[in-house]
């Protein structure tokens, strides 16, 4: 986001939204403290030494714990996700702000500490040259074709389709890596090609944008996931925009944003139709249910983000304790709708043949259910420190390539924010690391990347040469 738009647009708008919300609820200093902390997290994202993991964690926190609450304060809209025994009393809101401030402060301070140890060279200065050159039209076409076949198979077998249990069970637990590839793995492969193309051309081209949007749209429809196209395409395009803006050779264009908006609307409509067919069991599209899904899709910008309701569950749960936290940490994912958090939150999802739906606590709900502010702060800080260390590892494995690193960090931040069963996080990270290591080998050997410390020309030097 450009400086003027950030300082004179976003931050004042946040202050205005908070002021209107305060006029409705009169929560006083706690509301303004949460607003100031949220602003500080966004300001810290703009450090020259970029951390994609911290950036996405900060954005998800602001959207889930601050933005959602402010809008609901003003509109009195009901919260979509279950919030346990939360009644909205002043003491409960006071404790909500305390829990949210403890988590946000841990995010902020951990990032500040990490800056003392983070590499001083900006990511765009560490990009190596690919001797094989930019991605060709034939390569983009092959990627689209392979994606179409892969996601068709995924849809038929339901290795990863939102809410749908697998229809094909493979031996040797092979469903897990295929589900991972559908969820994010194929997108990471795509990101390495996009990163190579942007590095060589030093700009984001129409063919690259078209390929990214087409493949992520196919994946989103295949998985019946309205969020997939956002969580795959946005980090890749942001990484590409970042590189192009730092090199300064070409002006940034607005048309990729317009293309993304158009594709997003189309995907939301297609996925809504698909979900009506799958979840209702009706052969033809039911107009009332389609209208419901379209309205729900329209409200995703507000209600999709995990955070507020999970903290409400934690605040209102009388049995919160460290013992409950450890039970949540070790819970078996196989129990599904009978899990601890589903019971505590008052989730209305029931077991349906072939379908599984859950309300998500994220790390907010799991850590919050310890019930101790100091422990919430410490656990969050440890989690963020581990995430920053993991980002450093991924950077090394992927030869400092910004675009795939941005996507992986977004995926990890999203996994933490939408965490349901902590035991699933380990296999997810293991598969992510293994794939990154394989791609790193390919980058070094197949594409014959140049020396990692050979920076691309800085804008002034480059202009002088021409």
* Residue 232 near residue 184, CB atoms below 8 Å: yes
Q: What is the mean pLDDT of the chain?
A: 89
How many angstroms separate the CA atoms of 436 and 156, rounded? 27
pLDDT, one tens digit per residue, over 33-78 is 999 999 999 999 987 789 999 999 999 999 999 999 999 999 978 8
Residue 11, H or E segment: helix 11-25
User: Which of the four pLDDT bands, split at 50, 70 and 90, describes residue 460?
Assistant: very low
pLDDT attached to residue 283? 55
* Residue 401 near residue 189, CB atoms below 8 Å: no
**Higher-confidence position of 466 and 336:** 336
Alpha helix (H) residue ranges in 203-321: 206-222, 228-247, 255-280, 287-298, 300-303, 308-316
Position 353 pLDDT exceeds 60: no
pLDDT attached to residue 376? 98
Position 455 pLDDT exceeds 80: no
Position 12 pLDDT exceeds 70: yes
pTM: predicted TM-score of the whole model, two decimal places:
0.92
How many angstroms separate the CA atoms of 135 and 192, rounded? 10
Q: What is the mean predicted confidence (pLDDT) over 369-376?
A: 97
User: Which of the four pLDDT bands, split at 50, 70 and 90, describes residue 459?
Assistant: very low
Position 360 pLDDT exceeds 60: yes
Position 177 pLDDT exceeds 80: yes
User: Which of the four pLDDT bands, split at 50, 70 and 90, describes residue 282?
Assistant: low
Chain centroid, CA 236 distance in Å: 12
User: Which of the four pLDDT bands, split at 50, 70 and 90, describes residue 298?
Assistant: low
Length of the chain: 466
pLDDT attached to residue 452? 43
Position 357 pLDDT exceeds 90: no
Q: What is the mean predicted confidence (pLDDT) over 315-336?
A: 94
pLDDT attached to residue 130? 87
How many angstroms separate the CA atoms of 332 and 420, rounded? 11
pLDDT attached to residue 437? 97
């Amino acid at each position: 986001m450009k400086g003027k738009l950030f300082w004179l647009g976003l931050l004042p708008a946040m202050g205005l939204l908070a002021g209107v919300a305060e006029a409705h609820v009169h929560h006083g200093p706690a509301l303004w403290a949460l607003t100031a902390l949220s602003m500080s997290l966004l300001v810290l994202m703009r450090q020259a030494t970029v951390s994609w993991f911290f950036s996405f964690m900060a954005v998800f926190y602001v959207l889930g714990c601050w933005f959602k609450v402010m809008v609901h304060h003003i509109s009195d809209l009901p919260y979509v996700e279950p919030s346990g025994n939360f009644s909205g009393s002043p003491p409960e809101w006071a404790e909500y702000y305390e829990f949210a401030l403890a988590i946000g402060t841990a995010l902020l301070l951990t990032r500040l500490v990490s800056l003392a140890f983070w590499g001083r060279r900006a990511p765009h200065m560490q990009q190596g040259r690919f001797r094989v050159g930019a991605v060709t039209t034939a390569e983009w076409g092959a990627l689209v074709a392979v994606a179409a076949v892969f996601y068709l198979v995924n849809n038929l077998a339901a290795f990863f389709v939102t809410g749908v249990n697998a229809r094909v069970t493979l031996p040797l637990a092979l469903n897990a890596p295929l589900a991972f590839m559908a969820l994010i793995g194929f997108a990471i492969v795509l990101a390495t090609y996009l990163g190579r193309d942007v590095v060589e051309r030093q700009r984001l081209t129409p063919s690259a944008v078209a390929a990214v949007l087409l493949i992520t749209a196919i994946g989103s429809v295949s998985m019946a996931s309205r969020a997939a196209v956002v969580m795959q395409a946005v980090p890749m395009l942001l990484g590409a925009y970042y590189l192009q803006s730092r090199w300064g050779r070409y002006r940034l264009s607005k048309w990729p944003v317009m293309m993304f908006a158009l594709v997003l609307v189309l995907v939301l409509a297609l996925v809504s139709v698909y979900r009506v067919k799958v979840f209702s069991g009706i052969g033809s599209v039911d107009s009332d249910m389609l209208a419901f899904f379209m309205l729900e899709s329209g409200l995703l910008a507000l209600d999709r983000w995990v955070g507020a309701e999970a903290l409400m569950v934690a605040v209102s749960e009388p049995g919160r304790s460290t013992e409950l936290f450890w039970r949540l940490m070790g819970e078996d994912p196989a129990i599904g709708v009978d899990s601890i958090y589903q019971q505590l939150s008052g989730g209305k999802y029931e077991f349906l043949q072939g379908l599984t739906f859950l309300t998500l606590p994220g790390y907010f709900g799991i850590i919050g259910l310890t019930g101790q502010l100091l422990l919430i702060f410490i656990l969050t800080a440890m989690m963020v420190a581990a995430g920053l260390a993991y980002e450093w590892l991924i950077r090394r494995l992927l030869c400092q390539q910004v675009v795939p690193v941005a996507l992986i960090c977004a995926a990890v931040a999203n996994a933490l924010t939408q965490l349901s069963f902590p035991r699933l996080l380990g296999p997810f990270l293991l598969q992510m690391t293994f794939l990154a290591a394989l791609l790193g080998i390919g980058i070094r050997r197949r594409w014959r990347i140049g020396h990692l410390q050979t920076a691309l020309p800085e804008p002034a030097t480059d202009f002088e040469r021409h």
